[in-house]
Amino acid sequence: GFIENVRKHRENNKDFLVLTLRHRRNRKRAHRNILKRISRPGLRIYSNSQRIPRISGGIGV
């Protein structure tokens, strides 16, 4: 997948998830550098698993 590591972080009494993206071999850029939060509290997005597109040869969603 594209995610190398996930850790919890707390700052000013707020909890965060810190995602470390996996990098391409011999390159300094990550596979993906744009992340978009689709589902959040108060606005849940549901989808059929077959409607989610496969990208990069099935490595990610």
Q: What are 26-33's contacts with CB under 8 Å, separation 24+?
A: 30/2, 31/2, 31/56, 31/59, 31/60, 32/2, 32/60
Residue 47: how many CA atoms within 13 Å on its side-chain side? 9
Nearest Cα to 52, choosing from 60, 43, 40, 44? 60
pLDDT digits (tens, 9 = 90+) for 42-59: 888 787 878 877 766 655
Mean pLDDT of the chain, nearest integer:
75
Give the predicted TM-score (pTM) of the model: 0.42
> Mean of the pLDDT values across residues 29-42?
68
Gap between the Cα atoms of 4 and 44, Å rounded: 26
- Residue 19 pLDDT > 80, yes or no? yes
- Residue 31 pLDDT > 60, yes or no? no
